[in-house]
Amino acid sequence: MSSTGSAASYKGYWITWGIMLAITAIMLAADSLPWSKFAVVGLLLAAMLVKISLIGGEFMHLRWEKPLLVWAVAGCILFFSAFLFILIAFDGIRIAGMLQP
């Protein structure tokens, strides 16, 4: 608990809330941008990562936790998720290629 004692700031939380709403608005408007599909997907993924970092860092107080806890949580989720997605992506792309006329 003491590790997050300095985190208590109403103002900080509501600033984070405002930033997250602004990012959400940008994500919703991304489809109407005159960009290539690749660029729009890149923007959406980048915006998603920023939102996740804000929730984890500010709201869940990971910013104020010990680095060991942060790495244990983030590292575990990132490693196993990437492992899962990469393995499945190879098969998905192969099947998608087989379905091409």
Binding-site ranges for other proteins (CB under 8 A): 1, 3-5, 7-10, 13-14, 16-17, 20-21, 24, 27-28, 30-31, 41, 44-45, 47-48, 51-52, 55-56, 58-61, 65-66, 68-69, 72-73, 76-77, 80-81, 84-85, 88-89, 91-93, 95-96, 99
How many other β-carbons are positioned within 10 Å of the β-carbon of residue 62?
A: 19
In whole angstroms, the minimum distance from the beta carbon of 50 to other proteins comes to 10
If 0-12 CB within 10 Å is exposed, 13-18 middle and 19+ buried, where does residue 30 land? middle
CA dihedral angle for residue 9, residue 11, residue 12, residue 16, rounded to 10 degrees: 140
In whole angstroms, the minimum distance from the beta carbon of 39 to other proteins comes to 13
